[in-house]
Chains A and B, each alone.
Chain A
């Protein structure tokens, strides 16, 4: 449930859904997100520039010259967005992943820490239906969850200076896919050849908040031969 709406500076508001980080809370966030996006697209509300969902919050940025925070807050409060259908827009996406040791930089360490075998870790990962909590930090990077508890692991003590694009990493109950080469502290367990983000495509980001991701194991040869459409 939406617990609180507050101002962020003079051109933003945050809709806070409480401190819990789970799929249930996030689905509430995404309902409001879908509702705002639709209201903007159908011009039911003017002046909204961006709407950014995260685990438990939706942040809305607006153009101060066109609308004031008070009007947006009233708009949200007077709308019954809870009826927004989440499944209407959201999709299941199969993402190929190669767990070859060349890419699964941290699996060996995870085996030692979790006392699970390589196969058990991979199966656990493949059997999870991942919910897309949010996309961001850099373009197209998804934050997925939830992993089974036995795979929970902390961030690396010293982040790597360079993680290759396509690397799949896990931390705590979350899983991410690096869409750009960047520094990072996640435990890397594989690599996908999938282009999750391409600014020149109509669908810039393959995934949207609220989607579901299923990983599908591929061989190193498949990975090298893989061609993005």
Chain B
């Protein structure tokens, strides 16, 4: 008997992701992978999976799924408003960051993320996903990944491996960092910008606009003036780079970024603050803080310690 979830509603941007597809950027294939690595790992830990197991990522509104088959131990991670609708119609509010058993005919309705963008849905034993070049991450733009490289769609079936529903349930206390400061290091072309713009970048607030997705986050704020050259020779791009195109408004390049690009980069978000950044909703205001490599590396140690403690 095959076990699966039927997709009754796919949500806005629901894709399978893992930690990323590496070693192919020189062929134009970006790593992709989960946006919020900490939350992704937490969702796997909650159901006893290895942290790298593929999970379903959703943004703002998640999917409505109905289980067909054997009971399964699942978890939703993040700050998420969701319901569990039992086969008999009883509805109860779901609790995120806590694993629970769902049975044949039950539905899980992920209504929305709360003051955050991304959340994850994991199942003990993992979903049955086709690995492409060593990863189950989805890059919709190039149709690479499981589910034919596409977002979840209505009426699709998501198959999963036999889950031991008697598995131990687990819960954690999780909250997002409310602080709006994002730490960055100077970018390769930091010196291209006027003295005033170099100061403004760290003094002024920048607003997250609606032109934000897995590829990039467009910000709006004090215009940054490039006094050297609006274009540079195209060069490889790194996740978290903040590029400034001709209009002077920053774009932070996120997990599905183009592999090469020709805009000057004023700064790079440090690894430890990347998850915090991507969870900032449209309209949020953020402030950048300059740090050096030592601070960034130490912050990463703290980040890993926090992850391991969950």
Q: Interface on A for B, CB 8 Å cutoff? A: 6-12, 14, 19, 21, 33, 37, 40, 49-59, 61, 64-65, 68-69, 134-141, 143, 179-180, 197, 199-200, 204-205, 208-209
Contact = CB atoms under 8 A, between A and B. Distances in A.
A8 B233 contact: no
Interface in B4-60: 20, 22-29, 31
Given A137-B258, A140-B27, A199-B133, 18 more contacts: A8-B265, A40-B23, A50-B26, A50-B31, A51-B26, A54-B233, A54-B236, A61-B31, A136-B26, A137-B28, A137-B259, A137-B261, A179-B28, A180-B142, A199-B132, A199-B149, A200-B132, A204-B27
Interface residues of B, number: 44
Nearest to A41: B23
A49 B23 contact: yes
A40 B26 CA distance: 14
A50 B22 contact: yes
A65 B41 CA distance: 15
Interface stretch (B103-111, B150-158, B160-168, B292-300): B292-300
A57 B236 CA distance: 8
Given A6-B188, A58-B236, A137-B261, A65 B28 contact: no
- Which secondary structure dominates chain B's binding surface? mixed
A116 B235 CA distance: 33
Interface stretch (B80-88, B114-122, B220-228, B268-276): B268-276
Contacts of B300: 10, 64-65
A8 B238 contact: yes
B241 interface: yes
29 contacts: A6-B188, A8-B188, A8-B268, A10-B185, A10-B268, A10-B297, A14-B235, A40-B23, A50-B25, A51-B26, A52-B26, A54-B234, A54-B235, A54-B260, A56-B233, A135-B27, A136-B26, A137-B28, A137-B234, A137-B261, A138-B142, A138-B259, A139-B29, A139-B142, A140-B27, A197-B28, A199-B142, A205-B28, A208-B26
A138 B144 CA distance: 12
| 4 closest Cβ pairs, A-B complex | A52-B236, A9-B268, A59-B236, A10-B296
Given A9-B185, A52-B259, A208-B26, A138 B236 contact: no
